Structure 1
């Protein structure tokens, strides 16, 4: 549904799209014979503005695919509400580190033969109501199947990234393929246990929007279903299904009893996310890391002072960017803690502020800076309330700690934050964070994670050596706020102020332990081996 290729290509909203972009880059590095497919999303997601009261103001953020991709001549149609909607694709080509190239096709309905209503179907990412969303997912799933067939590509496997593309295998069944054949050709990845991330549509809407043979095909796959369940449909029509961390596999298996669910823990692309000074260090100390991220393990032998020096360059860049963007001059002697992710309830963006008096007391003894960034979905009132509350808390803190909210979270700002953060905060209610990846990006830049016990961190943590965990699996989430402040007061901030040599060693170890194990190249190798059954990997 989204993919983050470049900041100026605004066909993504957040973590799901950013992950897809990293996997695209890794597929090119490994010369995998793949083509990625998404929607053009010409209107983008949300251009976030913040008013004087801390309210998020949602603006359109349009972009022009023709500035970054070339149009293909092939046009197919997708049935929507009794009419045929024309779909074509723009092709963008990404090049890997060894010169291999992988294409992304951006499906577009903004064609003169379509009505104004249909031309807007590939407009706003995650916009509109359920009807608009189902139509978008028809363009994505049915459109991808028909377009790639019309182009003449022989597809060995279809990888459905979340349930948004579930109409693709249903299209294959409707067109005459038997269910077992479709299952052998399809792979499905589920990315969240949160109910809001699982698209479900009433049968009445399905029957109004799609020809009746799609409902007939669906009834063959899920004869007892109560609605059009895109996640369960994709899972049932895929011979391989996976979660995105070990913990998430356990949660997903409970959510979908009887389904065989593997796991491929998410990863990030080190060459894309490492800050320039850190890349230079890797070039000197971890030969071949761009081609094979396993080489980053060699950083364990590097002088921690060199790691600290490289991190300081990215840190200075972040401090200067904050000054340019906000007019705030950060104190470079204070550690920088970052919280940056989608603003929504289960990620708990206000957890730090549950006890303001204690927070201020801690900051007076050990001053620190807290940088916060993230967008709320336009329909997420709770997320918008959190942003407004953060601005109110920032005023009450009065620089103890220094709290700065940075609007416009996207690829460009994310690079600055993960490059310069000293501590990366990850505070979801377990077990609702399926994986998470931002902390991985901070770690390859020497940032230390401070996280609740959830998602990828359960696999990556070496407690007190590459970061810290807030509580354990048995801890009541209602205690996390107090435990977070305990960790800051007794462990994290004293380590910064009283043992910088030890801190620098943790930075080095974070890179050496997390960089190789949580790379997008590693994840794509696992997909190629286990899901695609492809043995032609480069390297």
Structure 2
């Protein structure tokens, strides 16, 4: 039949008794409150799945009859009232007193900028770990009651929906959504119209609309260029996350950085702390400087003030994760910004220079902020090494990059069955998330009860995986006989089979193919009829990442080999919904990154808090989380091995651990039908992960280590008409001009041997090139030398000025050495000013 198909959506009228279902559909609390989501699921489970777990869309398509039935169902109404009462209690809660004492909701505001936010699968404005981390950060900020807003972009097509065809090729599908389908509302001005902004682009003015997404106690402001006044090309700037070419990426980052600052100003919001999550939003720094200059500051003073109140988090050591733009592109788009800042283009371009060509957004963010961190201890060290050119004379281990190890939002990823257990057996557990001793109470849960919960969650996962495999394979034309063979272990309800999971972005450094380094051995281990095992893979590769897509095809090809059919499962369409099921249902979580490129690896944390046992390379968070009793660690090989050797040595470790530890421990059952040693591992995993790697701990660390110091520093520099910011900028300029000619010499050196009752006496003369003695600090570092020749500092003593002699400034030290035996000392000098945020932020240092 030919003809045009016209859409017609018949919407129900929500009964007054259930009216609040519509209100909650616009509050992303539903993304972490399972009881709220359950109210929708109970109405129509199949429709809920068809609508992508989107309550707003679900309510528009639900039959009127079903709503009317629920409105007259006493059982449903009772649950509805209980859930809404709990929701109201959450909304009325004024926050954690420890946090609100530090950040006063009436005076303070933290503004958090990120290019993606992963709060829920129904709100597809995320691609992977960065976005989900940002979403968890927002959720924890809401739980803690921090004065907090977030700023991002509203993508009409999100990232992409993944399809894997019958040959194992990743296919990209996009399903554009309209804002009226999403949990957003227009951000209104005082006149009742939607807030719009103007951003100057080459040859035109770009219009940007602002939308608000509510997530508990916080608001997420999202910018949208899909407006009738823009050209078709400009309307597509916010069409897709990480879509388009380099110019579109630059346009997206200008909209986020510049538009985000302007949006907050238009709403009358004046953040006291700004947090840039990855370099994508770094243009906000230049925009904020321009505003400060309108208040009468010169650029250098404005930059000191802006930088002092800003935290920057870098998320990856992988080069592809750091945006670099060509000079001509930056010049086209940023010339107006340069003029507004009183800079010529060369001066502005220099703010983003690092090694190589191009304008590096990470370098811009690091130069123009004063508080910087990586996302695990190892990653903080790696980032310090990577970025040491910005502080060229400072040892990498002492430069201003620190770390806050990532955490995950417990209520989002902890399975419903575990929450029910905690509610039953652990009183007030939600207020004990940081108390490691408290979680020892898990030992009071009988092993059989604990294991029964895990088995139920695994059964749910396997049922879901089986359904997904059938849909995927039938679409690809696979025969029913092969499908039955693929799902035989998934549908055997009597078999308690070992299930391992590997799910994450398919990038080459994550080495998803390591498990197949020895296919014959793997086939033997998985195919043992007495101790069978299944490995479930899931994940997306960027549409332009051909090596990543090749990994997907490699796994697909293995999964279709006779010895692996049904034992290796490759799922398509990895998203937050699938992630929640996987981390809750698997027995073992696998992770095999190339050290030290796994910045954090939060999927392992999500699995661990559900009692899954991690088997991972000791990189990222697992290097901190592994304690010998809660999982297994693969020790990364050192630099003496080349990449090929490292891969195969670590792959052998992986197989050895599987064969000799994982599989035997899992199948060493007692009369109760479970393995006591495995339950002990699982409990240890949960006990060690929950209090140390949850998002509330992470956000608290940011508050204490970064947000509070950044606010204090900004207030210092801002006082008295930004007098200290002006002084600091002028001082830095004076230091930079003088430093190339600064030198020092050791004039009095102690003998190589002194006795305990003798003084360590040092005399140094310095040529300061017009700087004052108070502009520098001389230090004597005392410590030990390790077996590899490294120097471990155990004491730092400051030399004091002794006056001037023949144009040289004299410094001296008379100290009692606190170490005994053989030791070493070093002498260094660096610029110092008490107004600095970090003693080495200037990046200048000389040594004798």
Give the TM-score band, short-chain normalised: over 0.9
User: Which residue does 1:468 correspond to in 2?
Assistant: 632
2:611 corresponds to 1:496: no
TM-score scaled by length of structure 2: 0.61
The equivalent position to 2:328 in structure 1, one of 187, 193, 204, is: 204
User: Which residue does 1:486 correspond to in 2?
Assistant: 656
Distance 2:180 2:358 in 1: 38
2:186 corresponds to 1:71: yes
1:353-393 Cα offsets, whole Å, 9 max, x none, are: 11111111222333100000000100000011111111111
1:14-67 Cα offsets, whole Å, 9 max, x none, are: 111111111111000000101011111111111111111011001113222333
User: Which residue does 2:120 correspond to in 1?
Assistant: 6
User: Which residue does 2:550 correspond to in 1?
Assistant: 385
| Greater shift in the superposed pair: 201-210 or 403-412 | 201-210
2:507 corresponds to 1:344: yes
Assess, with a 3 A threshold, how the Cα gap between structure 1 residues 60 and 220 changes in structure 2: closer, same or farther.
closer
The residue correspondences of 1:63-102 to structure 2 (distance < 5 A) are 63-67=177-181, 68-72=183-187, 73-95=194-216, 101-102=217-218
Assess, with a 3 A threshold, how the Cα gap between structure 1 residues 378 and 371 changes in structure 2: closer, same or farther.
same
Please say if residues 199 and 206 of structure 2, whose CA atoms lie closer than 8 Å, have aligned partners that are also in contact: yes
User: Which residue does 1:140 correspond to in 2?
Assistant: 256
The equivalent position to 1:266 in structure 2, one of 397, 406, 417, is: 406
Please say if residues 307 and 446 of structure 1, whose CA atoms lie closer than 8 Å, have aligned partners that are also in contact: no
User: Which residue does 1:36 correspond to in 2?
Assistant: 150
Shift of 1:290: 2.7
Distance 1:290 1:116 in 2: 49
3-state SS of paired residue (1:532):
helix
| Greater shift in the superposed pair: 208-217 or 253-262 | 208-217
| Greater shift in the superposed pair: 157-166 or 105-114 | 105-114
Please say if residues 605 and 693 of structure 2, whose CA atoms lie closer than 8 Å, have aligned partners that are also in contact: yes
Shift of 1:88: 1.7
User: Which residue does 1:511 correspond to in 2?
Assistant: 686
The residue correspondences of 1:13-412 to structure 2 (distance < 5 A) are 13-67=127-181, 68-72=183-187, 73-95=194-216, 101-175=217-291, 176=293, 178-214=302-338, 216=344, 219=347, 222=350, 225=353, 226-257=357-388, 258=391, 259-295=399-435, 297=439, 298-327=441-470, 328-329=487-488, 330=490, 331=492, 332-365=495-528, 366-396=531-561, 398-399=563-564, 402-412=567-577
Compare relative contact order (CA 8 Å, sep 6+) and give the higher one, 1 or 2: 1
Shift of 1:312: 1.6
The equivalent position to 2:621 in structure 1, one of 456, 465, 469, is: 456
Shift of 1:115: 1.2
Distance 1:224 1:370 in 2: 44
Assess, with a 3 A threshold, how the Cα gap between structure 1 residues 244 and 400 changes in structure 2: closer, same or farther.
same
3-state SS of paired residue (1:121):
coil
The equivalent position to 2:598 in structure 1, one of 414, 433, 436, is: 433
Shift of 1:212: 4.0
Please say if residues 637 and 649 of structure 2, whose CA atoms lie closer than 8 Å, have aligned partners that are also in contact: no
Please say if residues 307 and 507 of structure 1, whose CA atoms lie closer than 8 Å, have aligned partners that are also in contact: no
Distance 1:516 1:224 in 2: 39
Over aligned residues, Cα RMSD in angstroms?
Answer: 1.9
Shift of 1:291: 3.9
Distance 1:520 1:488 in 2: 31
1:211-257 Cα offsets, whole Å, 9 max, x none, are: 34337478258468253110011111112100000000110110111
Distance 1:220 1:535 in 2: 24
Please say if residues 529 and 535 of structure 1, whose CA atoms lie closer than 8 Å, have aligned partners that are also in contact: no
3-state SS of paired residue (2:429):
coil
2:721 corresponds to 1:528: no
Unpaired stretches in structure 2, ≥5 consecutive residues: 1-114, 188-193, 392-398, 471-486, 670-674, 712-848
3-state SS of paired residue (1:13):
coil
| Greater shift in the superposed pair: 60-69 or 294-303 | 294-303
Shift of 1:138: 0.4
User: Which residue does 1:98 correspond to in 2?
Assistant: none
Unpaired stretches in structure 1, ≥5 consecutive residues: 96-100
Distance 2:329 2:624 in 1: 41
Q: Which has the larger radius of gyration?
A: 2
Distance 1:181 1:63 in 2: 40
Distance 1:469 1:84 in 2: 54
Shift of 1:472: 4.2
Please say if residues 174 and 217 of structure 1, whose CA atoms lie closer than 8 Å, have aligned partners that are also in contact: no
3-state SS of paired residue (1:339):
strand
Assess, with a 3 A threshold, how the Cα gap between structure 1 residues 495 and 422 changes in structure 2: closer, same or farther.
same
| Greater shift in the superposed pair: 320-329 or 53-62 | 320-329
Shift of 1:282: 1.8
1:188-218 Cα offsets, whole Å, 9 max, x none, are: 0000000000101111111112334337478
Shift of 1:481: 1.3
Shift of 1:8: 1.0
TM-score scaled by length of structure 1: 0.94
Distance 2:381 2:582 in 1: 31
Distance 1:453 1:486 in 2: 16
Please say if residues 142 and 215 of structure 2, whose CA atoms lie closer than 8 Å, have aligned partners that are also in contact: yes
3-state SS of paired residue (2:620):
coil
Assess, with a 3 A threshold, how the Cα gap between structure 1 residues 223 and 361 changes in structure 2: closer, same or farther.
closer
Assess, with a 3 A threshold, how the Cα gap between structure 1 residues 94 and 217 changes in structure 2: closer, same or farther.
farther
3-state SS of paired residue (1:266):
coil
